[in-house]
Structure 1
Amino acid sequence: MSRSDDPGHYFQTTDSLATSERKAAKANNNYGDPRRLSSKILAVLNHQSWPGEVIVAEAAGVVRRVNLSTSTARPIARPRSSPLTSLAIAPRAGVPTLYAACWDKLIYGTPLPTSNSTLQSLPAYQPHELRGHSDFVKCLLPAQIAGSPVLLSGGADGVICVWDLASVAGSSGKPLHKLSNSAGGKAAVQCLVLDPLGVPPDLDEPSGSGVVVFSSSSDREIRRWFISRERAYELAESIETPILAHETSVYKLCFDSEGDLWTASADGTAKHLVRERGWEVDTVLKHPDFVRDVVVDDARGMVVTACRDEEVRVWDAGSGDLVCVYGGHYEEVTGLALVEGWGVVSVSIDGTVRRWSLERKGMREYAEAVEREKAGMVEEGKAEGREGVLTAEEEAELAELMDDDD
């Protein structure tokens, strides 16, 4: 154990003190042009109607819109003081509504502010709550079923709820459906995504009647569901059920333009699963720690991952080669969002929002800046190390004087 007169050091190991000191030193860096908020950031959402901005969910129970051009981070919802884990935007009775999933087992919906309004200036601030989970709500997914809006939620209770948003009454009552895996497990639902290819033709369902949703969970299983207004069930005939591509929790799922699946897992990997080969893994992106998120930039052929080791990594989607490692966060990176014209935006429990270029030129400039900083630190260390140290000439002179004393 480390011993110190500083009360803040009591009961801390040497390793934990070193980690704290490293993070404190790193906290002042300006890589990624950080926007610093007051609490941990657990989720980020790109809202197409607000170009150059992102919406973030904080552990303090606040939702903010962050302008990437300025330092403004305005609150637009404050549903509770409990941590908010996920965000979604969907129309409720025709009104664009912001939904926030919370640790307190509820989902909070508020009318979405206009482009220039804030929480305080909303005259019709009428929040509503969705109650259907018995544990933390971990993920949200908006969808359209037969032209009607719905919201899907996944919880730590292992349940997927489907909420009707077509009417005010429908979106405040009981869910349309409550789903759990056919094996009866209670593993937390970590992520929900829509299948971009829609309902497969071999499924005996009316055209346009429903959607296919993929879910991932804390027991490493990836499952597929058919959901319509009338019924919802797990698909088990056409693919292996469940898909088992990882050793443990699968935190995120993301489809690319080909309809193939990218995954992020606590086993330290992100993987590419090929649909035409029965979801066979053909690319493995290895990390030193949990992979929290993955997004795909199809236009540039890049895959971006967020890791618990504080880094954001950019990979070549075709070869799986590592292209760039962005280091700026000093705590776990919790989410990513692609923003047109800005590259990728990352958020972290260090309370910062940072943006990173996905252009080769931008990545080179970042690498050069890091090298310049390292070189400066080395020179500074050398300068500090000279104090009190004799040169070779001075040492020779001292030795001669000592010989004379003899």
Structure 2
Amino acid sequence: MQSSNPEHFFETDADLEKKRRRAAKAGNKFGSPIALKSKILAAIPDPRLPSSRVFVAEASSVVRLVDIDNPEKPTTAYRGPTAPVCCIAVGGPNNNTLFAGSWDKSIWAWDITTRAVKKKYLGHSDFVKAVACAKVGGKHILISGGADKKIIVWDVETGLAMHTMQDTTVNMLSVQDLVVDNVASTPDEVVVISASSDPHIRRWKIQLEDWGLIDETATAPEVEVAGSTTAAAGRGAIREHETTVYRLALDGDDEFANLWTASGDGTAKCLSRARGFACEETLEHGGHVRAVAVTEQWVVTAGRDEDVKFWDRASGKLYCALQGHYDEVTALAVLGQRRICSVGIDGTVRAWPLDKAGLDAAVAEQTKPPEEEEEASKTQEGLLSPEEEAELAALMEDDSE
């Protein structure tokens, strides 16, 4: 008889301490958590109004639409995949198609309104890990990246693959993220930026009939580096990190928009468009940085250390670190001008303010002395439901055995 219960296997003191810490942290209400049924691997805002809804991809093979303003409202579920869903995007005609890449090697497409399955895109030979939507030559396209090291461009309407793109000049590993560069794109050519498990960031140009990998050495302007004049990028692909780049984010849609990255080397970086996407600023988050998001005032980072960190864009200084998640944070989604939400392996969706007063209040709440927190808990009806208290007690009891 086989078992998946970790308690049936050897666990180190560090493993046991991690379990105890997470169990003790699990009952917190920071960020007004909405608990779902499984690990959450991705999140994007619902582009339709109101801006309080977020699509989340779960390890339980489902995509859900969650309204953070109505936590008691049942979630809307999109079903079909037979394995964990790890990436999602919205696009197609009228922005009414939800796309999801799955570990079952396929991409599913649903009508957002009716939840009916529209198509299933088949072509990857391993996990689909990134999806993005665009339009080129009047045609709606879907761009996907997988653990099979391939980027496939699909005709949304027919479901047929138009192009299969790979980098043969540098060893390209599993694709982790894709973002469409609207600044560099034209109606007849889409530029998409990819991140992967190798440290390189690549830019691709896609046309209806052809595609190409942009040579950063040829396009980078000359800049002064260590007393000499050289190409800012200095390589066929962009390399500013030491290891896996998990996430990409552009900080605008104008000619000054820069590229932000999140990496397993513990940093988030700003790559300057004006300098050929050379590194202009580095934020030392620590641990594996799995997510980065940018607003007018903040750069927000999150990852394996479970904290959501807010950095002042003007100064580059850390403004605050908010606790709440009790396992790795996997994604961030900006919801309008007022809030950002975070999701993680702990299966919770949490919302955080974007104004300084709100962040200061959140920090004050998290730094209350224990006696104040205990007194406050008595006045907050329903801080923990009976079911949550029973679950937490069971977890604590198991960890003490």
TM-score calculated relative to the size of structure 1? 0.82
Counterpart mapping for 1:217-366 below 5 A? 217-236=196-215, 237-239=218-220, 240=233, 241-257=236-252, 258-298=256-296, 301-366=297-362
Deviation (angstroms), 1:15: 1.9
RMSD: 2.0
Q: Which residue of structure 1 lines up, in the alignment, with residue 167 of structure 2?
A: 181
SS in 2 for 1:30: coil
Residue of structure 2 equivalent to 1:100? 100
Q: Name 1:153's counterpart in structure 2.
A: 144
Distance 2:165 2:189 in 1: 15
Q: Which residue of 1 aligns with 2:35?
A: 36
Q: What per-residue deviation string (whole Å, max 9, x for no partner) do you get for residues 291-332 of structure 1?
A: 00111102xx21001111111100011221001101000000
Superimposed CA distance per residue, residues 210-239 of structure 1 (whole angstroms, 9 cap, x where no aligned partner) = 111111111110111110111111011313
Residue 280 of structure 1: how far off its partner (Å): 2.2
Counterpart CA distance in 1 for 2:95 and 2:259 is: 32
Q: 2:121 aligns with which of 112, 130, 137?
A: 130
Identify unmatched segments of 5+ residues in structure 2. 1-5, 221-232, 376-401
What is the Cα deviation at residue 48 of structure 1? Answer: 1.8
Secondary structure of 1:334's counterpart equals: strand
For residue 277 of structure 1, give the secondary structure of its aligned residue in structure 2. Answer: coil
Deviation at 1:73, TM superposition (A): 4.4
| C-alpha displacement of 1:81 | 3.4
Q: 1:60 Cα shift?
A: 0.3
Aligned residue for 1:372, secondary structure, equals coil
Secondary structure at the counterpart of residue 20 of structure 1? helix
Pairing of 1:35-74 with structure 2 (within 5 A): 35-51=34-50, 52-71=52-71, 72-74=73-75
Shift of 1:104: 1.1
Query: Residue 10 of structure 1: CA displacement?
Result: 6.0
2:12 is the counterpart of 1:13: yes
Equivalent position amino acid for 1:83 in 2: P
Q: Percent identity?
A: 40
- Does structure 2 conserve the Cα–Cα contact (< 8 Å) formed by 1:9 and 1:17? no
**Aligned partner of residue 367 in structure 1, secondary structure:** helix
Residues 104 and 198 of structure 1, relative CA distance in 2, 3 Å threshold = same
Once the two structures are superposed, residues 100-153 of structure 1 have per-residue CA deviations (whole angstroms, 9 ceiling, x without a partner) of 100111001111126xxxx5xxxxx24421011111100000001123210000
Q: Note if 1:211 corresponds to 2:194.
A: no
Counterpart Cα distance in 2 of 1:378 and 1:10: 36
Distance 2:25 2:260 in 1: 31
The CA distance in 1 between the partners of 2:117 and 2:360, in whole Å, is 48
Corresponding residue for residue 90 of structure 1:
91
Q: Which has the larger radius of gyration?
A: 1
| 1:190 equivalenced with 2:176 (yes/no) | yes
Counterpart of 2:137, as a letter, is A
When residues 375 and 196 of structure 1 are mapped into structure 2, their CA distance, relative to the original with a 3 A threshold, is farther
Equivalent residue letter for 1:32: G
Range moving further from structure 2, 338-347 or 10-19: 10-19
How much has 1:278 moved relative to structure 2? 2.2
Residues 70-79 or 346-355, more deviating: 70-79
Q: Distance between the aligned counterparts of 1:254 and 1:73, measured in 2?
A: 31
With over 3 angstroms needed to count, the CA separation of the structure-2 counterparts of 1:69 and 1:197, relative to structure 1, is: same
> 2:398 — aligned with what?
none
Find out whether 1:140 has 2:131 as its counterpart: yes
State the match for 2:383 in structure 1.
none
CA distance in 1, matches of 2:273, 2:173: 25
Q: 2:380 aligns to what?
A: none
For these two proteins, the number of residue pairs brought into alignment is: 349
SS at match of 1:319: coil
Amino acid of the structure 2 residue aligned with 1:76: A
- Counterpart of 2:392 in structure 1 is none
Aligned to 2:113: 113
Structure 1 residue 70: deviation in Å? 1.5
Q: What is residue 382 of structure 2 aligned with on the other side?
A: none
- 2:228 maps to none
